[in-house]
Amino acid sequence: MNERSGSSGEPRHRAAALARPWASRAVLLVDDHDGFRTEARALLELDGFDVVGEAADAAAAVDAAGRLHPGAILLDVGLPDADGLSIVEDLREQAPGVAIVIISGREEADFGGAIARAGADAFIAKRSLGPGVVRDLLARLDRP
Amino acid sequence: MTRRAALLVAGLALVAGLISEHVRQVWTQPLWVPLTDLLIGWTLVGCGLIGAVTRPNQLAGRRIVFAGFLWIVAAPRQWFGDTGRTDDFLQLDAASFTLVGWSDAVLAFTAFAFAGHRPQRPRDRVMVVALVAAFAAQTLIRTVFSAPDLFGIDLLDRDTIMPWVAYVDLARVGALAIAGVLLCQRYLAATPPGRRLLGPVLLAGAASCLAPLYAAWYPLSQLGLISPVVEDVAVPGFWLSNALRMLVPIAMLFGILRQRRARGAVAAALASVGLRPSTVELERSLAEAFGDPSIRVLPWDPATGGYVDAAGRPAALPDAGDEQVATLVSGETGPTAALVHDRSLAEDPTIVAAGVTLLRLVLDNTRLSRDLRRQLDEVRESRARIVHAGDAERHRIERNLHDGVQQRLLALALRLRRAATAAQADPDASSALAGGAGKRSQARGCLDCPPRRHRARRYAPA
């Protein structure tokens, strides 16, 4: 897991995240595939996001969410130790107000209503990821 | 015994009766004397034949037939008024004289042995031996007495032998009386199911044993112990005795047929218990069939190596002195159950065998059903294991695709898109970014394929 902190020792996005979490550019990336995380991080940073942490499994994701308080979490479904959908509530407890975006190599229809039932905010198929996709999605979520 | 044989024996009895009455010159007596003689003999033979035909495995019927012929050959002599006897059939008449009363011995033995083939209680066996000894002694002493008529020789002076004939007659009547008391005692000691099963035959046997008591007046008077009985007393006694004798075969036949009904009830129980009755239902059906409400079925429990009751609790078998006995039922693999029933039922092995057969059928059926269910469960579990193994393999393949090819392709696609975005700003930088990433069209082509995990799911077992 990689993390980046501000010079004060506190996550620099924390105040903004607590005030208006979705408006924060701090993103936690949760996926068990190193190569995908590398490319996704680069893409997000290209879009102006600050990838404050990465997690390769569910336990690390919940831990990182509690410590880093990201404004958004890109959460893969197929994690080695748990189904990503099953930790949505845990993540939200650790980081209240966080925007949780499910990412998967499968299509949203494959999950039926499981994504909404799990309490996630949005879904992006991995094959649809590209420049501006996450940014536009979070902007729509931020809209009242 | 076949019906044809029975008819033949019946015809023989008819002829033999008429001949016997003629040889013994009973026709010279008032008509009711030979008629009651014949009626008793023919009733014995007729009832015995019905019993023998309807219950071929039960010896009682044939024994009653035998007693009937003995009666026909040598009914107790009753002489009233002028005897009018001649010496026409002296030898035959003397021979019948030696056999008087043997029919009573056979009927007593029939009652003691019922419902089995021989007496079960030691005291009954002793009694039968005593009866045979008394009757043998009677035949012997009467043979000596009749030697002049039978063989033309005078072994002993008749005045000398006559008291001995009287003594032995009294001994015979006494032995019969004791036998009658023993049969009554056996009836009274029996449990209700036992009385229902054996009662008619036991009481008829007792009546047969006690009926000859009336004849004791003759030897007693001969010995000078009592005055000779006048005909006004002897004739009613004779009628009473004969009426009792006539009831004996009828009552015995009733007892035999009742057993047959009991076996029929076992067959009805077989039809009523259904395919897989519970132990309680089985006990109820058998209790109705046997007329024994105390009956219990104790299945064998291989786990504990003992018998258990309907609730599955360990159950002890009756002790040797109990009123109940246990008939053990075994199968190919060892004990399967115990049938605990009234002791009296054991006296009729055929009825218990019928119950055991019913029990074995039901238990075998239950065991087969249980085995079938177990095999079905095993097949279901086996199928579930196969499905589970296939499912696990499918997930493994899916996981491999997810972790491998698909993720690499997705990462590659992200890199290409980023390169495309960068190319718009800086073509040189985008070229470096896309280096080694392969042709864009190839990656796009792969991404346009159905997701690999979908492809993996196609291999899920039906």
* pLDDT tens per residue across span A13-36: 444 444 444 556 899 999 988 888
Helix/strand/coil (H/E/C) assignment for every residue in B196-212? HHHHHHHHHHHHHHHHH
Give yes or no for residue B276 having a pLDDT over 80.
Answer: no
pLDDT class for B223, splitting at 50, 70, 90?
confident
Q: What is the pLDDT of residue B151?
A: 86
A128 touches chain B (CB under 8 A): no
Average pLDDT over every residue of B380-398: 90
Q: What is the pLDDT of residue A141?
A: 81
Give yes or no for residue B81 having a pLDDT over 80.
Answer: no
Q: Do the chains contact at B414 and A106, CB–CB below 8 Å?
A: no
Cis? peptide before B115, omega within 30° of 0 = yes
Question: In whole numbers, what is the pLDDT of chain B averaged over residues?
Answer: 82
Q: Do the chains contact at B421 and A78, CB–CB below 8 Å?
A: no
Question: Which of A69-103 are b and which e, b meaning 16 or more Cβ less than 10 Å from the residue's Cβ?
Answer: bbbbbbbbbbbeeeebbebbebbbebbeebbbbbb
Q: What is the pLDDT of residue B439?
A: 46
* pLDDT tens per residue across span A33-67: 888 899 899 989 988 899 999 999 999 999 999 99
Give yes or no for residue A9 having a pLDDT over 50.
Answer: no
- The token duo for B462 is 């039906």
How far is it, in rounded angstroms, from Cα B49 to Cα B55? 10
Percent of chain B with pLDDT over 90: 25
From A80's Cα to the closest Cα of chain B, the distance in A is 9
Neighbours of B427 (CB within 10 A): 9
pLDDT class for B84, splitting at 50, 70, 90?
low
Residues in B lying within 8 Å of A, measured between beta carbons? 399, 402-403, 406-408, 410-415, 417-418, 421, 447, 451-454
From A61's Cα to the closest Cα of chain B, the distance in A is 18
Q: Which of B43-57, B252-266, B395-409 has the highest mean pLDDT?
A: B43-57
Q: Which residue does chain A place closest to B446, by CA atoms?
A: A127
Chain A residues touching residue B411 (CB < 8 angstroms) = 33, 35-36, 38-39
Q: Which residue does chain B place closest to A105, by CA atoms?
A: B451
With CA atoms as reference, report the closest residue to B343 among B310, B315, B360, B318: B318
How far is it, in rounded angstroms, from Cα B320 to Cα B326? 10
Q: What is the pLDDT of residue B403?
A: 66
Cα–Cα distance list, A122 to A40, A109, B269, B447 (Å): 17, 13, 72, 22
A83 touches chain B (CB under 8 A): no
Q: Do the chains contact at A46 and B413, CB–CB below 8 Å?
A: no
Q: Do the chains contact at B411 and A78, CB–CB below 8 Å?
A: no
Percent of chain B with pLDDT over 70: 85
Give yes or no for residue B279 having a pLDDT over 90.
Answer: no
Average pLDDT over every residue of B45-57: 90
Half-sphere exposure of B91 (CA within 13 A, CB side): 4
Q: Do the chains contact at B452 and A36, CB–CB below 8 Å?
A: no
Q: Do the chains contact at B454 and A42, CB–CB below 8 Å?
A: no
From A109's Cα to the closest Cα of chain B, the distance in A is 12
Amino acid at the residue B332:
E
In terms of C-beta density within 10 A (0-12 exposed, 13-18 middle, 19 or more buried), how is residue B260 classed? middle
Chosen for mutation from B414, B417, B433 (greatest number of chain A CBs closer than 10 Å) is B414
Chain A residues touching residue B437 (CB < 8 angstroms) = none
A43 touches chain B (CB under 8 A): yes
Q: What is the pLDDT of residue B369?
A: 81
Q: Do the chains contact at B411 and A42, CB–CB below 8 Å?
A: no
Q: What is the ipTM of this complex?
A: 0.72
Chain B residues touching residue A46 (CB < 8 angstroms) = 418, 421
> Which residues are paired to A78 by β-bridges?
A83
- The token duo for B341 is 């029933």
A96 touches chain B (CB under 8 A): no
- B410 → closest Cβ in A46, A78, A126: A126
* pLDDT tens per residue across span A81-98: 899 999 999 999 999 989
Question: Does residue A103 sit in helix, strand or coil?
Answer: strand
Average pLDDT over every residue of B318-333: 81
Which runs of consecutive H residues, i.e. helices, occur in B211-278?
Answer: 217-222, 231-272
Q: Which of A102-106, B20-24, B110-114, B125-129 has the highest mean pLDDT?
A: B125-129
Question: Which of B48-75 are b and which e, b meaning 16 or more Cβ less than 10 Å from the residue's Cβ?
Answer: bbbbbeebeebbbbbbbbbbbbbbbbbb
Query: Are B103 and B63 a contacting pair, CB within 8 Å?
Result: no
How far is it, in rounded angstroms, from Cα B283 to Cα B297? 6
Average pLDDT over every residue of B88-97: 83
Q: Identify which has the larger pLDDT, B212 or B170.
A: B170
Q: What is the pLDDT of residue A23?
A: 53
Chain A residues touching residue B446 (CB < 8 angstroms) = none
Q: What is the pLDDT of residue B31?
A: 84
A36 touches chain B (CB under 8 A): yes
How far is it, in rounded angstroms, from Cα B326 to Cα B359? 13
A6 touches chain B (CB under 8 A): no
Q: Identify which has the larger pLDDT, A17 or B102.
A: B102
Average pLDDT over every residue of B419-444: 61
Average pLDDT over every residue of B313-337: 84
Q: Which of A129-143, B184-198, B205-219, B373-387 has the highest mean pLDDT?
A: B373-387
- The token duo for A17 is 């995240």
Q: Do the chains contact at B403 and A33, CB–CB below 8 Å?
A: yes
How far is it, in rounded angstroms, from Cα A98 to Cα A90? 11
